């Protein structure tokens, strides 16, 4: 389970293709090899109201959070964070030509004792769900 959330200031709507950014993050998360396809969620939340730094209208932010289940080493989490941050930085390189953007990423582990989930996609993507030949021949 990686859940990746992108919060961004609304003034980036005309400057960033947020849908493309979400898909790029999805590809980078999967490329780490640390997560199952059916577990990945990438979403963006547009922040209409915000105040940033010296309150110039040009100031913008993208704050990213990667929440993951336990079981990965610090090195694996760091490697994933670095790869995703590098990909997003590359995707947004034109924004950094002006001194008005703040980009951040935090990786957090989810406490399994305080997390509940049900995912109907896993059996399908693992090839053993209803309607899949492997499951129907058991």
Between 88 and 39, the more confident residue is 88
Among candidate residues 2, 99, 112, 133, the one labeled active-site is: 2
Give the per-residue pLDDT at 122.
Answer: 67
Q: What is the DSSP letter of 30?
A: H
What residue numbers bound the domain in which 42 lies?
2-136
Residue ranges of E strands in 27-136: 41-47, 60-68, 101-109
Q: What is the pLDDT of residues 71-123, one digit of tens each?
A: 999 999 999 999 999 999 999 999 999 999 999 999 999 877 777 777 787 67
The CATH number given to whatever domain includes residue 83 is 3.30.429.10
Model confidence at 55, in pLDDT bands (50, 70, 90)?
Answer: very high
List all residues 6 or more positions away from 28 whose beta carbon is below 8 Å from its beta carbon: 83, 84, 87
Question: Using CA atoms, how far apart are residues 125 and 130, in angstroms rounded to an integer?
Answer: 11
Q: Is residue 130 annotated as part of the catalytic site, yes or no?
A: no
Give the per-residue pLDDT at 119.
Answer: 77
> In the chain, pLDDT over 90 holds for what percent of residues?
75
How confident is the model over 27-35, as a mean pLDDT? 96
Asked if residues 77 and 39 have their Cβ atoms less than 8 Å apart, the reply is no
Q: How far is CA 102 from CA 21, 28, 50, 110, in A?
A: 16, 21, 13, 26
Mean pLDDT of the chain: 90
Between 47 and 117, the more confident residue is 47
How many helical (H) and strand (E) elements, i.e. helices and strands, does the chain have? Answer: 4, 4
Between 59 and 128, the more confident residue is 59
Give the per-residue pLDDT at 110.
Answer: 87
Q: Which helix (H) or strand (E) holds 5?
A: strand 2-9
* pTM exceeding 0.85: no
Q: Please count the structural domains in the chain.
A: 1
């Amino acid at each position: 389970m990686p859940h990746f959330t992108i919060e961004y200031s609304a003034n980036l709507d005309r400057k960033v293709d947020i849908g493309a950014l979400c898909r790029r993050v999805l590809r980078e998360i999967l490329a780490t090899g640390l997560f199952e396809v059916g577990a990945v969620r990438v979403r963006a939340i547009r922040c209409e109201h915000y105040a940033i730094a010296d309150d110039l209208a040009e100031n913008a932010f993208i704050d990213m959070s990667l929440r993951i289940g336990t079981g990965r080493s610090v090195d694996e989490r760091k490697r994933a964070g670095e790869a995703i941050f590098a990909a997003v930085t590359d995707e947004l390189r034109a924004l950094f030509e002006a001194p008005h953007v703040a980009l951040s990423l935090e990786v957090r582990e989810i406490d399994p004792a305080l997390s509940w989930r049900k995912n109907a996609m896993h059996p399908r993507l693992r090839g053993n769900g209803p309607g899949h030949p492997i499951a129907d021949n058991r």
